[in-house]
Amino acid sequence: MNSTPPPPGRAEILTWLAGLGQRPPEAERLDSMELAWLVHQVEQRYGVELGDDQLERIVTIDDAVTVIGEVLISHV
């Protein structure tokens, strides 16, 4: 049995970002602090690290969903 939680979706990533404070609902792009926070969340929750090549691909929330999902699937 696999006890690893499923990759986060858009709603979960937005919830993680809410931990940093208010964020405009229409904001799509991530700033550097938000990206650092997401990396921390992924490392804490899933025990995997994102490489520089993956981090460079994350510009928007949808990018984060895609890249984090790919990383987690490849580490199963």
- For 1-37, the pLDDT digits (tens) are 456 678 999 999 999 999 888 888 789 999 999 999 9
Fold exhibited by the domain 10-74: 1.10.1200
In angstroms, the CA 31 to CA 50 distance is 17
pLDDT digits (tens, 9 = 90+) for 36-45: 999 999 999 9
**What pTM does this model have?**
0.88
Torsion of CA 69, 50, 13, 72, to 10 degrees: 30
Whose tokens are 């709603």? That residue is 11
Query: What are the backbone angles phi and psi of residue 29, rounded to the nearest 5°?
Result: -75, 145
What local confidence, expressed as pLDDT, does residue 22 receive? 85
Give residue limits of the domains in the chain.
10-74
Q: Which one has a higher pLDDT value, 62 or 2? A: 62
pLDDT the model gives residue 71: 93
- Which residues face 29 on adjacent strands? 60
Rounded Cα gap, residues 42 and 68, in angstroms: 8
Is residue 7 a contact partner of residue 69, using CB atoms and an 8 Å limit?
Answer: yes
